[in-house]
Amino acid sequence: MKISEKFTDQQAVIGVIGLGYVGLPLVLAYAHKGFGVIGFDIDISKIVHLHAGTSYIKHIPSELIAAARASGKLDATTDFSRIKDCDAIILCVPTPLDDHLEPDLSFVTDTLDAVVPHLRAGQILSLESSTYPGTTEEEVVSRVVAAGFIVGESVFVVYSPEREDPGNPHFAATNIPKVVGGHTPACLHAGTALYGAAFDKVVPVSSTQVAELSKLLENIYRAVNIGLINELKIAADRMGIDIWEVIRAAATKPFGFTPFYPGPGLGGHCIPIDPYYLTWKAREFGVHTRFIELAGEINRAMPEYVVHRTMTALNSRGKAVMGSRILLLGLAYKANVDDMRESPTFALLDRFSELGAQVTYHDPHVPVIGPTREHSHWAGTRSVELSPETLAASDCVVIATHHAAFDLLMLAKHTALIIDTRNAMATVATQPGQVVKA
């Protein structure tokens, strides 16, 4: 049986490595379509959750996992020798930056080194992690060839960038068009069959490099425009102009304008990171991506701008930051999710703490800070209760994330000073000078 035929009658077994915000929805998507799925992860707690039919990601209901387990279509393991049981292996592992803002592919390469010894002829190997153009050729294809396989004949290598948007009710994994690039035409054919079995629309492209760069373009487009509006926010503030009103006015133009919104910095696993993957790779070709790097500098500086605005606001009330009780609302990087990766709130926690403030946070989606690579010193810190007493006891509340669960009326009633980085208080009646936009 040809590899592509296994996807037309749900005979293929799908292996997904990395069961986080990208991998878990993918596992559930294929299980829902009737495929047998094996999820792989080195985190034993995730395996335990999946065997129990429970979710460890807030916006993914346990019912979906329990149904997949009850159907017999979902298994999960830390045993990479079971790679041989899969017809397709999809890698969904992190691609962070190192301390020098350069790509850290160790999760990809370590995973590949664990996978390749268990490969067999007739399998598809797909990388979904965001990365620079050439990664699939340099890291995946090279290892498969070194193991003695002929890519495009015995093993099929593809790249298909993830496009997850956690917390977005309008888009789930399968109704977002899926870009796929193959190392050879045969690889592309196999990859199209793999993803066409679960996704509503597959967008084939001519190479893995095109697919890799398309992902970076999507996020660079957002990072650059957010950098622009963050810079304009600072300029507008100096001029005494409300940037949020400016955006609303400009957005009434029915063509040629897309609104982007300022904030306390960038968060998530893509937008703060992906642009640097391209700037690093571009240097290999003698290209200095000044525009992208400038946007990165602006966005990374936004937490310090929020701190400065907070210091000025406290000072105007006769208070110093040192010794002030500052409550940060929202640890997750975006509204209504529990994803705290690269959240700018961590930078605010660090900076206010360095300045001597008594800083706490409240986030109903992140009741306790778990282990992180960059902010391990905050691990175990718990969200404080959001109550009239907590608000009244705070010298300042900084809205870093606009969760729908926040009681803004209570906030306005009991808080002396609100630093609003998200324009959350725009529709709430407040006292003159009570809210400072930052």
Task: Specify whether the CB–CB gap between 35 and 45 falls below 8 A.
Answer: no
Q: Between 274 and 138, where is the model more confident?
A: 138
Task: Kindly give the interhelix angle for 208-238 and 243-250, rounded to the nearest 10 degrees.
Answer: 120
Q: What is the pLDDT of residues 416-436, one digit of tens each?
A: 999 999 999 999 999 999 999
Task: Specify whether the CB–CB gap between 330 and 263 falls below 8 A.
Answer: no
Virtual torsion, Cα 398, 404, 408, 414, nearest 10 deg: -60
pLDDT band at residue 45 under the 50/70/90 scheme: very high
- Sign (positive/negative) of CA torsion 322, 323, 324, 325? positive
Task: Specify whether the CB–CB gap between 92 and 163 falls below 8 A.
Answer: no
- 270 carries an active-site annotation: yes
Q: How many residues does the chain have?
A: 438
Spell out the domains of the chain, with CATH numbers in brackets: 3-206 (3.40.50.720), 222-437 (3.40.50.720)
Virtual torsion, Cα 390, 395, 399, 404, nearest 10 deg: 20
Task: Specify whether the CB–CB gap between 158 and 120 falls below 8 A.
Answer: no
- Return mean pLDDT, the chain: 95
CA 238 to chain centre: 32
Answer yes or no: is pLDDT of 289 > 70.
Answer: yes
Q: What is the pLDDT of residues 325-350, one digit of tens each?
A: 999 999 999 999 999 989 999 999 99
426 CB burial (10 A radius; 0-12, 13-18, 19+): middle
pLDDT band at residue 36 under the 50/70/90 scheme: very high
Q: Which residues contact 319 (CB under 8 A, 6 or more apart)?
A: 395
Give pLDDT, residue 82. Answer: 97
Could you tell me which of 438, 102, 142, 76 has the C-alpha nearest to residue 296?
A: 102
The SS3 assignment for 151 reads strand
Give the separation between CA 263 and CA 257, rounded to whole angstroms: 19
Task: Specify whether the CB–CB gap between 107 and 72 falls below 8 A.
Answer: no
pLDDT above 70 covers a percentage of the chain that reads 100
The SS3 assignment for 146 reads helix
187 CB burial (10 A radius; 0-12, 13-18, 19+): buried
Could you tell me which of 366, 343, 203, 338 has the C-alpha nearest to residue 271?
A: 343
Give the separation between CA 136 and CA 133, rounded to whole angstroms: 8
Q: Between 269 and 211, where is the model more confident?
A: 211
Give the separation between CA 348 and CA 177, rounded to whole angstroms: 36
User: Which stretch, 163-177, 308-322, 364-378, has highest mean pLDDT?
Assistant: 308-322
Answer yes or no: is pLDDT of 106 > 80.
Answer: yes
Give the separation between CA 387 and CA 121, rounded to whole angstroms: 60
Residue 396 pairs in a beta bridge with 326
- Sign (positive/negative) of CA torsion 241, 244, 245, 249? positive
Opening angle at CA 75, ends 11 and 141, nearest 5:
65
Give the separation between CA 173 and CA 161, rounded to whole angstroms: 12
Q: How far is CA 186 from CA 84, 90, 127, in A?
A: 21, 17, 16
Give the separation between CA 35 and CA 74, rounded to whole angstroms: 9
Q: Which helix (H) or strand (E) holds 238?
A: helix 208-238
pLDDT band at residue 192 under the 50/70/90 scheme: very high
Catalytic residue, from 86, 92, 187, 270: name it.
270
Answer yes or no: is pLDDT of 173 > 80.
Answer: no
pLDDT band at residue 1 under the 50/70/90 scheme: low
